[in-house]
Amino acid sequence: MNFLIGLATGFFGGLVGLGGGVIMIPLMVSVLKMGQLKAHGTSLVALVFTGIVGAVTYALQGSVDIMAAVLLASTAIFTARAGARYANALPEWKLKKSFGVFLLTVTLLLLLKPYIPHIAGLTTGSLKILILLLTGAFTGFLSGMMGVGGGTIMVPAMILLTGLPQYVAQGSSLLAMVPAGGVGAFTHWRLGNVNSSILKGLIPGIIIGTILGSYFAHSLPEGVLRIIFATVLTWSGIKYFKTPIAKAVEEQ
């Protein structure tokens, strides 16, 4: 089961340029019955491998902007640790509700992305660098807190604000999440929020799934995938957001 969860996570992550935590975390909580906080920490460790394999696969096809990835990661590595510590301090029910809001926001971004006007032509030079640095800082905190790679923020920002092509933005996002996710994962590990026993099955599935997803990304229609992906995220997001406070407190 761990392998299958990793396979699904890697495939979706490689396909749309995400770490895959939005798929992995709900599966670990619902199928493996893992606590929300430990699922976030374990997800972030596993997603480092999604970033490495995905970035290499995209790079082999010329779909990585190294400078953009470096700028994103340069600020994300500092805020990822803060995000992980913030998640560790939250009660279980608040973390679940926050994750639900995050999933619903991601869904909205995915559905609206084709209809949002690009303003990339207005962002050049130092302004473009500043946008990438700020995006990295925000994404790093979100990554550490939510246990995700951060591609849901990085990819739309690179496409809409800096003018990078879709596939290049996805590849660059995967590369940037390696150092940022690594810092957040290490922090969660030290805080005891990682279930290392499932990583042996999870990581091989992620590696294989990411390779397959990254190659399929250049041949499948994005619109169909976006609708399917948004449906899954909406269902999960509503489920998490509706977590009763009393029930969540009792579970602790």
Residue with tokens 């499932």: 198
Sequence-distant (6+) residues with CB within 8 A of 244 are 93
What was the pLDDT predicted at 113?
Answer: 64
What was the pLDDT predicted at 249?
Answer: 45
What was the pLDDT predicted at 225?
Answer: 61
What was the pLDDT predicted at 223?
Answer: 66
Cβ atoms of 36 and 88 within 8 Å: the answer is no
What was the pLDDT predicted at 246?
Answer: 47
Which range, of 134-138, 219-223, 229-233, 246-250, averages the lowest pLDDT? 246-250
Mean of pLDDT values over 203-214: 83
Q: Which residue has the higher pLDDT, 119 or 96?
A: 96
Mean of pLDDT values over 38-65: 83
Counted domains in the chain = 1
What was the pLDDT predicted at 33?
Answer: 86
What was the pLDDT predicted at 16?
Answer: 66
Residue 151 corresponds to which tokens in the numbers above? 């591609």
Model pTM above 0.75: no
Mean of pLDDT values over 61-90: 85
Cβ atoms of 25 and 195 within 8 Å: the answer is no
Q: Which residue has the higher pLDDT, 236 or 138?
A: 138
Pick from 81, 25, 54: which is nearest to 198 by CA?
25
Q: Which residue has the higher pLDDT, 37 or 73?
A: 73
207 is in which domain, residue-wise? 2-251
